[in-house]
Amino acid sequence: MTELATAPAQAPIAAESRFYNARLTRRVDLTESLAFMWVRFDGEPVMFEPGQYLTIGVESNGKLVQRPYSVASSARELHDGYEFYLRLVIAGTFTPLLWRLPVGHAMSMKGPKGKFVLEPDDDRIHVFISSGTGIAPFISMMKTLLADGVPRRAVVLHGASYEHDLGYRELLEAWQSEGTYPVTYIPTVSRPGTPQNSTWAGRVGRVESIVPAVYDELSLTPDNSIAYICGNPDMITAVDATLLGRGFPEAQVKKELYWPKGKEPRAAGVNVPQP
Ligand SMILES: Cc1cc2nc3c(=O)[nH]c(=O)nc-3n(C[C@H](O)[C@H](O)[C@H](O)COP(=O)(O)OP(=O)(O)OC[C@H]3O[C@@H](n4cnc5c(N)ncnc54)[C@H](O)[C@@H]3O)c2cc1C
């Protein structure tokens, strides 16, 4: 079996594998550790519901190394494959392999799966709260609703460490300013005062810390809104507690955790991700 040329310390990636049924077709880097990637099944595309995830992987040392990722693209546009918004976890297992993968390389892809999907026919304001790459499923939801001609009023709260980490910012700002989608976009950066955020004039603090003020300012209540939260577990726990404290029933706060609370990558501390 031929393997992708690697530096000695790097795990090999099999060029061919019985697991492979898909291909990395496109990649756009946002920063050194954030990228948009498109993966397409070799056969017919499979329908998904916005909010669901697929599990992608490569073979390394005879084993399939794979992880789940929320789809970010519209469920009505499958010809380019599924778009994913990914963070490189330097001390992680799969993403360092994925980051070395050239466009055109074969991969494994399974799914779709997941229950983090929109409620049917819900005309309440959709408050989409995320940290880091957790914004991905919300982009898919809004793109799909737009394609179906039934956009639902949304408030998007997105937290990142730095301004340049705010993936999909241009799209959301354009939707808001041009009125393409009825969205109020509220980004926040958690590390103000750093050189990377020197031009930032927006909100500051972790996304969970701005939730009470935003709910007050926009008069969001259990009667007029539903919350969807996605990203890191501490943020989700904090936002959940805030909303339950404001009288939201549990069923009106939908959650997708990207990893279990308290679990760090092998070499924790090497790559400190966005809170
Ligand atoms: C349903 C679901 C959907 C997901 N969708 C996405 C997605 O759209 N984009 C995405 O980047 N990740 C997503 N993830 C996380 C992804 O599956 C992997 O856990 C992540 O890419 C790290 O894999 P790894 O093998 O490199 O790290 P591992 O060796 O598995 O280490 C995992 C650790 O890395 C850290 N970590 C995991 N994900 C992230 C992240 N996104 N940002 C910062 N730190 C992280 C956590 O400390 C976690 O415990 C999703 C997870 C789930 C369960």
The protein residue whose alpha carbon is closest to atom 27 in ligand 1 is 92
| pLDDT category of residue 34 using cuts at 50, 70 and 90 | very high
Structure tokens at 121: 């026919």
3-state helix, strand, coil split of the chain in percent (to 5) is 25, 30, 45
The string of pLDDT tens digits covering residues 232-265 is 999 999 999 999 999 999 999 999 999 988 776 6
pLDDT at 25 over 60: yes
Please give the distance, rounded to the nearest whole angstrom, from the Cα atom of residue 221 to the centre of ligand 1: 31
Catalogue all structural domains in the chain, each as residue range(s) with its CATH number.
22-113 (2.40.30.10), 125-257 (3.40.50.80)
220 Cα: distance to centroid of ligand 1 (angstroms) = 30
Q: Grade residue 146 by pLDDT with cuts at 50, 70 and 90.
A: very high
Q: Supply the pLDDT for residue 134.
A: 98
Residue 84 near ligand 1, beta carbon < 6 Å:
yes
State if residue 271 touches ligand 1 by the CB under 6 angstroms criterion: no
Tell whether the torsion through CA atoms of 82, 86, 88 and 92 is positive or negative: negative
Q: What is the tens place of the pLDDT at every residue in 149-174?
A: 999 999 999 999 999 999 999 999 99
Nearest CA to ligand 1 atom 15: 258
CB of 11 closer than 6 angstroms to any ligand 1 atom = no
Distance 259 CA to ligand 1 centre (A): 6
Instruction: Report d(CA 108, CA 103) in Å as an integer.
Output: 14
Residue 177 Cα, ligand 1 centroid: separation in angstroms?
32
